[in-house]
Amino acid sequence: MPLEHIDPPTLMKPMGYTHVVAATGARTLYVAGQGAFDAQWQLVGPGDLEAQARQAYGNLLLALEGAGAGPEHIAKSTMYVVGLEQAKLPAVMRGIAAALGGRDARPPASTMVGVERLAMDGMLIEIEAIAVVDA
């Protein structure tokens, strides 16, 4: 496995992320921010954060698949959420879980950032990632 997940016992128990991920693989993938668009550039789930999180994370998984990787290879992810507040966290997490479809993968080191808006009108979330695979 090209990643080592580390959660020091001296830190609080993480919920949905890992405190430290050490990359031991040889090939690093940088995945551009993925929004909730289908292959025809139609926004999926206008006004629905959970639906957009599911589509955006699904797009991230498709991008990784195209490079020969999967969710288990994600070392770091950053999620940008319009108008982020604590009450929106469950919708994001449900959307990601739905996109994973029961696949078992340790959560990566992750940061969620609240933003005023994203590049395209109607976008509520954008997710980027760094993944590591063996050469």
Domain boundaries, given as residue ranges, for the chain: 3-133
CATH superfamily, region 3-133:
RutC-like (3.30.1330.40)
Tell me: the pLDDT tens digits for 31-85? 999 999 999 999 999 999 999 999 999 999 999 999 999 999 999 999 999 999 9
Percent of the chain having pLDDT more than 70? 100
pLDDT at 131: 96
3-state SS, one letter per residue, for the chain: CCEEEECCCCCCCCCCCCCEEEECCCEEEEEEEECCECCCCCECCCCCHHHHHHHHHHHHHHHHHHCCCCHHHEEEEEEEEECCCHHHHHHHHHHHHHHHCCCCCCCCEEEEEEECCCCCCCCCEEEEEEEEECC
Q: In this model, does residue 106 exceed pLDDT 90?
A: no
pLDDT tens digits for 80-95?
999 999 999 999 999 9
